[in-house]
Amino acid sequence: MARKLHNVVASSSHRSRQGESAGMETFATSHGITFTSDVVRIGADDRALRSAAARGELIRVHRGAFVPAEVWDGMDRNERYRCRVRAVGLVSRGRPVLSHESAAALWGIPTIRASELVHVLTSPTAGTRTENGVRRHGLAVDDEDVLEDGGFRFTSLRRTLLDLLRDGSFPAGTVALDWALRPARSEPKPSLDRQAFASYVAHQALGRGAARVARVLAFADPRAESPGESVSRAMIHELGFPSPDLQSVIRDERGFVGRVDFHWPEHRLIGEFDGEGKYGPDGATARRMVIDEKWREDRLRRTGRGMVRWGWRTASDGPQLFELLHRAGLPSARTGPVRRIRAT
């Protein structure tokens, strides 16, 4: 990638002797982003970057920050957002403190809403405003809640979670805190102690959003094993349905059948969230997993339990999830309009 960026600039601009000795790595940071300021610093003509962007060879991810189009095309939504976050974190004057969804992207905290803005902190006296794709939050944060790594400054895990819970929806906050409380298993991840976080929250002068934070803190459950399960559980609660048992083990006369996402024993009902990628990447492995899951579901149903399945679209849409569970015989205590309930 560094060679690609080097060629774009070198083919369109006379390089100084200083630039020749600096080498092509000068044109890209370790994060794969080329900055106009770096090109100018070595004496090259930054107009080459703008020309390459006009031709579609480079993608402008922020003012003065570019990545090769072929790299950008290979990124998914989350990777593109992290790229924009890194660009803002490295190119902006004063090295801003990344916060909210942007700090979450660096921590690996899952979110359910595709953020279009990069979030940073500014002085409380400056107020909160949005400009050039950057949302500046006028918040005071303790020095110990500002971390630095890899050239970035960002809020601590606990502060990031606090901001997400205070400003986000109940389902979105549940996704973030479930993840943080869940112990690391196969993948490396930071984890949070519930009591320590509760103590931290109690010592913050929250004011706005305090009730929302307290509600998510009381509801979060590390047994939810994916963002989709967390959203589903929060929406089930919002819709007035009984709380399900999580990760229940189901057995029949032959022994262990499976561990299910949601179980309502008193209603003889099982719920399963089917996320993307559940059945493997492709080919024979995916087909084998589908067949195995079909046999598993047949055994579960033969225990005399009903079973419903849903994916992201239904999990995040109140009316759809309500209709699915209601038709399955699950009672709801809700009396208000379901159409107003959404995950984001």
Domains and CATH numbers, the chain: 2-73 (no CATH), 77-219 (no CATH), 227-340 (3.40.960)
| Residue 222: partners with Cβ closer than 8 Å, 6 or more residues away | 178, 181, 182, 183
Give the per-residue pLDDT at 273.
97
**Is the CB of residue 335 less than 8 Å from the CB of residue 310?**
no
* Amino acid 16: pLDDT: 32
Short-list 198, 114, 106, CA closest to 156: 106
Instruction: Look up residue 328 and give its two tokens.
Output: 């399955």
What integer pLDDT is reported at residue 9 of this predicted model?
43
Give the sign of the dihedral formed by CA 65, CA 67, CA 69, CA 71: negative
pLDDT on residue 3? 44
126: CB partners within 8 A, 6+ apart: 136, 138
In 10 A of CB 172, how many CB atoms?
24
pLDDT for 7 equals 46
pLDDT averaged over 10-residue windows placed end to end, the chain, 344 residues: 44 36 45 84 79 92 92 94 93 86 95 89 87 91 94 95 95 97 83 94 88 96 96 97 97 93 97 72 62 86 95 94 97 86 78
Please list, in sequence order, all residues whose beta carbon lies within 8 angstroms of the beta carbon of residue 79, skipping any fewer than 6 positions away: none
User: What's the pTM value of the predicted model, to 2 decimals?
Assistant: 0.84
